[in-house]
Amino acid sequence: MPSDLPAAPDATDAAGRALAAIDSRAPLLMVLGGAGTGKTTFLHALRKTPRGRQVFLAPTGVAALQAGGQTIHSFFGIPPRLLNPDEVKPRVQVRRLLKKLDRVVIDEVSMVRADLMDAIDISLRIARDTSEPFGGVQMVLVGDFLQLPPVVPMAEQEMLGRMGYEGPFAFNAKALADREPVGVPFTHVHRQTDRAFIAMLDAIRRGRGAREAAEALNEACVRPHRDGALPVLLTPTNARADAYNARGLATLSDAGREFSGLLKGEFGLEGDRLPVAERLVLKRGARVMALRNDPARRWVNGSVGTVVGLGETSAMVKLDAGPVVEIESFTWERIRYGWDEPGGRIEAQVVGTYTQLPLAPAWALTMHKAQGLTLEDVRIDFGDGAFAPGQAYVALSRARSLEGLSLVRPIRGQDVRVDRRVVGFMERFEG
Residue 209: the pLDDT is 92
Residue 6: the pLDDT is 47
Residue 216: the pLDDT is 97
pLDDT digit string (tens) for 106-156? 999 999 999 999 999 999 999 999 999 999 999 999 999 999 889 888 878
Residue 269: the pLDDT is 62
Residue 270: the pLDDT is 58
Pairing relationship of beta strands 314-319 and 324-328 according to DSSP bridges: antiparallel
Residue 12: the pLDDT is 54
Question: By C-alpha distance, which of 60, 57, 11, 21 is closest to 371?
Answer: 60
Set out the domains of the chain in order of their start, with CATH numbers: 14-190 (3.40.50.300), 195-332+343-415 (no CATH)
Residue 394: the pLDDT is 92
Q: Which residues of the chain have pLDDT under 70?
A: 1-12, 268-272, 431
Asked if 168 and 150 count as a contact pair (C-beta separation under 8 A), the reply is: yes
> Which pTM value belongs to this model?
0.86
The three state secondary structure string of the chain is CCCCCCCCCCCCCHHHHHHHHHHCCCCEEEEEECCCCCHHHHHHHHHHCCCCCEEEEECCHHHHHHHCCEEHHHHHCCCCCCCCHHHCCCCHHHHHHHCCCCEEEECCHHHCEHHHHHHHHHHHHHHHCCCCHHHHCEEEEEECCCCCCCCCCHHHHHHHHHCCCCCCEHHHCHHHCCCCCEEEEECCCCCCCCHHHHHHHHHHHHCCCHHHHHHHHHHHHECCCCCCCCCEEEECCHHHHHHHHHHHHHCCCCCCEEEECEEEECCCCCCCCCCCCCEEEECCCCEEEECCCCCCCCCCCCCEEEEEEECCCEEEEEECCCCEEEEECEEEEEEEEEEECCCCEEEEEEEEEEEECCEEECCEEECCCCCCCCECCEEECCCCCCCCCCHHHHHHCCECCCCCEEECCCCCHHHCCCCHHHHHHHHHHHC
Residue 2: the pLDDT is 39
**Which value, in Å, is the radius of gyration of the alpha carbons in the chain?**
22
pLDDT digit string (tens) for 274-321? 888 889 999 999 999 998 888 888 988 888 999 999 999 999 999 998
Residue 285: the pLDDT is 95
